[in-house]
């Protein structure tokens, strides 16, 4: 980052200009009140659906605004970015829209679906690095070697101004909002929203939400300085940032009212509820705000609360796990290991007990040669659909009455 961008403020005028720039290039995403989530959280929740944005996240806004601001000569040099997902797709699509060449460096561990999506938006993709720091270093080397323009994912005034248009849209559509809750990684989204929202409505409350595993902005906000911390694994990879941007941190300290932490478990529950009750898909980072509200981490305050659903690009395998665990948590999916006599009819008799209890068999795994299985016995693992806790208790009771040797599998 240059000295100039480190010192340059982002103003409401910058965000208004960005809104004019983005007109026609990005969607004005809806903001809708969720009755069910409002009831569950005890807050009046309005969701800003950036998961419905082109490329599946808000990142297109900042990327487009940054690339658009470049001179013709700089655009001809092409742009370079480092990202594991949303920023990659945002830069790739924005560059293609603006007839600019783009190179995206992604970690070697990046999701194949996200790599393919980034290529599909027109970028040249280079896989490099086991961790993101290595990926970022390679991107900067390529930019320096080729004379291309490096597009930072959050620590850039043009990127921040582009992301700030989310806040502008929120208060244009729902001026009654008294609080805005925003997922936080490096800080580009929340700092832009804070600039816009505080200019329109100075007393509005802005709350950031970070993963407990990556509390970089939280620690900086609470200690008034950027400090190192021990990172852990998280499903919210979109906000797993080791160090907030310097300009972003400056704006957050000045304009944001609070930063809170949310657990992976609460994020997963939010994804599950939004999928089942609202028929909408949010990625883990995108659901962090809803997770924090449902968990009571964001304290209820008078008036409506807007929550930014920042993206919807979730890995399908991760989503499958979240759905399965959500069903288990609600006692609607049960795994039972039953030890049977290894003889004809034993499996059928067990299935009869399950059918009489009106549980649906999803999957059956039969093992008769495992090292802990006695000769003449077999262990069958059933995955069963049940309706609720009472139905599950009824099924377990039926297994016991049939004198079956079983154990529940978590």
Q: Residue 64 pairs with which residues in a beta bridge?
A: none
Calpha distance 53→310 (Å, rounded): 9
Q: Under 8 Å CB-to-CB from 145, ≥6 apart: which residues?
A: none
235-263 in b/e form (b: 16+ CB < 10 A) is: bbbbbbbebbbebbbbbbeebbebbbbbb
Query: Virtual CA dihedral for 144, 147, 153, 155, nearest 10 degrees?
Result: 80
| Catalytic member of 34, 57, 59, 216 | 59
Rounded to whole angstroms, what are the CA distances from 101 to 69, 78, 91, 194?
A: 15, 5, 10, 32
Would you state the structure tokens that stand for residue 100, as one six-digit string?
């600019």
41 catalytically annotated: no
Instruction: Name the phi and psi angles at 165, rounded to 5.
Output: -65, -20
Q: Residue 209 pairs with which residues in a beta bridge?
A: 183, 260
SS3 sequence, 34-81? CHHHHHHHCCCEEEEEHHHCHHHECHHHHHHHHHHHCCHHHHHHCEEE
Alpha helices in 70-200 (DSSP H): 72-77, 86-97, 112-120, 132-146, 157-173, 188-200
Q: Residue 309 pairs with which residues in a beta bridge?
A: 49
310 catalytically annotated: yes
Task: Give the residue from 302, 220, 301, 211 showing the smallest Cα distance to 256.
Answer: 220
Q: Are strands 333-341 and 31-33 parallel, antiparallel or unpaired?
A: unpaired
| Catalytic member of 83, 148, 191, 310 | 310
The enclosing H or E element of 290 equals helix 288-294
Task: Give the residue from 84, 90, 78 showing the smallest Cα distance to 22.
Answer: 90
Task: Give the residue from 189, 152, 164, 175 showing the smallest Cα distance to 288.
Answer: 189
Which residues are the active-site residues?
A: 59, 310
């Amino acid at each position: 980052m240059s000295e100039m961008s480190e010192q340059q403020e982002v103003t409401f005028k910058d965000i208004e200009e960005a809104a004019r720039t983005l007109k026609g290039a990005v969607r004005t995403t809806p903001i809708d009140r969720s009755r069910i989530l409002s009831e569950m959280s005890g807050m009046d929740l309005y969701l800003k659906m950036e998961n419905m944005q082109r490329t599946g996240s808000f990142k297109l806004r900042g990327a487009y605004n940054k690339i658009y601001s470049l001179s013709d000569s700089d655009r001809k040099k092409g742009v370079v970015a480092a990202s594991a997902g949303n920023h990659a797709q945002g830069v790739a699509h924005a560059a293609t829209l603006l007839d600019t060449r783009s190179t995206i460096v992604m970690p070697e561990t990046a999701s194949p679906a996200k790599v393919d999506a980034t290529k599909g938006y027109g970028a040249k993709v280079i896989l490099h690095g086991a961790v993101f720091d290595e990926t970022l270093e390679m991107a900067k080397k390529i930019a320096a070697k080729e004379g291309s323009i490096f597009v930072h994912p959050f620590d850039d005034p043009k990127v921040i101004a582009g992301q700030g248009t989310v806040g502008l849209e929120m208060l244009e559509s729902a001026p009654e909002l008294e609080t805005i809750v925003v997922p936080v990684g490096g800080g580009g989204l929340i700092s832009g929203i804070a600039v816009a929202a505080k200019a329109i409505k100075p007393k509005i409350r802005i709350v950031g939400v970070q993963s407990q595993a990556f509390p970089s902005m939280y620690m900086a906000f609470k200690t008034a300085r950027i400090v190192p911390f021990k990172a852990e694994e998280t499903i919210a990879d979109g906000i797993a940032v080791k160090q907030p941007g310097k300009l972003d941190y400056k704006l957050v300290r000045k304009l944001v009212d609070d930063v809170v932490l949310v657990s992976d478990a609460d994020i997963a529950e939010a994804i599950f509820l939004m999928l089942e009750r609202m028929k909408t898909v949010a990625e883990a980072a995108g659901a962090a705000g809803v997770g924090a509200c449902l968990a009571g981490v964001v304290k209820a305050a008078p008036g409506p609360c807007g929550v930014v659903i920042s993206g919807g690009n979730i890995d399908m395998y991760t989503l499958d796990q979240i759905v399965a665990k959500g069903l288990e948590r609600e006692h609607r999916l049960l795994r039972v290991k039953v030890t049977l006599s290894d003889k004809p009819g034993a499996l059928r008799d067990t299935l009869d007990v399950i059918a009489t209890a009106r549980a649906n068999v999803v999957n059956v795994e039969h093992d008769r040669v495992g090292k802990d299985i006695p000769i003449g016995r077999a262990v069958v693992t059933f995955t069963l659909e049940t309706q609720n806790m009472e139905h599950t208790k009824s099924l377990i009771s039926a297994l016991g009455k049939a004198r079956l040797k079983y154990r529940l599998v978590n």
